[in-house]
Amino acid sequence: MGTQLSGVKTAIASFIGNTNTGEDQRAVSYELISFKDSPTLRLANTEDTSAVISAVQALSASGGDDCPEDSLGALGLALSRIDADEDSEGSVILATDASPGTGNVDALIAQARASGTRVNVLLSGDCVAGAATKSRAINGNTDVIPAATLSSREVFSRLAKDTGGLYFYAPGATAEVYSDLLGQIFSSVAEGITPIKSDELVEGIKGDAGEDHLYRLDVPAGAKLLRVMSYGGTGNISLFMKRESIPTETDYESRSARPSTNSQTMQVDNPVAGTYYIRLSGVSAYSKVALRALVRN
């Protein structure tokens, strides 16, 4: 967890450095909850970015091989505190290297969806190495894990998917990789990601030059074609797409190529199953643009 925690510290400092600054920036408040045997509120709701950075920097990994941990209890506490503030909208960013303890996952998903809260997860370990009833922890613990222990991959991927959040599983990665993945999560929190389905039409998209919209599309196994199209309205936009991470104008797997128009197309034949992220980026001011994604089996 120490390496992952280093990435957390770097990512939060970078995000804060680009947020809560300038007259045009939307105010963002933060809370910090840690967990092992039980959740602990380390920092209550605040816009004091210095206090946030100090609280995060003060965190240290302890009980490194403990598994499971009360991450679901921490999530429940976070959701309840968001619910208590009727005038705010929130997102949860959960970083852990262990399976969760007991908890009602269905109830947590329902609570998050009722408040419009996205649960984003950066996971670096799982106490359940496979489907066997007895397994050893990926994080190095040599104790036999009880069969009742939940798989963190199954629980947290579902929590993220069902609430519209991002999910990354990166065991054994470097602090730099964890910082980059968390940077993507923070960007998605700041910008927002709209989930769409195949053949769903999104209309009335507008923005200024440099203003982007992000969308997320799940592509099933066995798909023969993935096509994303934009058209209509005024202005000039570009499209970028990447599987399992948010694309930028320089980091993408597919992009549209037509200049000076809103009529753009990206197509992938025999796409690999997974979650695809689409960025609609304003080259100039644009309005009344429509977007549609098609998946064909």
For residue 263, what is the enclosing H or E element? none
Q: What is the pLDDT of residue 64?
A: 53
Q: Which pTM was predicted?
A: 0.69
- Whole-number average pLDDT of the chain: 85
Which residue intervals of 70-218 are DSSP H helices? Answer: 71-84, 105-115, 152-163, 175-191
230-243: b (≥16 Cβ within 10 Å) or e: beebebbbbbbbbb
Low-confidence winner among 6-10, 48-52, 267-271, 289-293 (lowest mean pLDDT): 6-10
Segment 113-119 mean pLDDT: 87
Q: d(Cα 72, Cα 38) in Å, to the nearest integer?
A: 10
Q: Coil, strand or helix: which one is 162? A: helix
Q: How far is CA 245 from CA 83, 155, 162, 168, in A?
A: 29, 20, 17, 9
Higher pLDDT among residues 242 and 193, named by residue: 242
Q: What is the pLDDT of residue 87?
A: 62
Low-confidence winner among 34-38, 72-76, 279-283 (lowest mean pLDDT): 34-38
Segment 181-206 mean pLDDT: 88
Q: What are the structural domains of the chain?
A: 2-129+151-191 (3.40.50.410), 194-296 (2.60.120.380)
pLDDT of residue 141 exceeding 90, the answer is: no
pLDDT of residue 20 exceeding 80, the answer is: no
Angle at 138 between CA 137 and CA 144, to 5 degrees: 15
pLDDT of residue 137 exceeding 70, the answer is: no
Q: What is the pLDDT of residue 121?
A: 94
Q: How far is CA 5 from CA 19, 41, 122, in A?
A: 21, 17, 11
pLDDT of residue 5 exceeding 80, the answer is: yes
Interhelix angle 49-57/2-17, rounded to 10 degrees, is 170
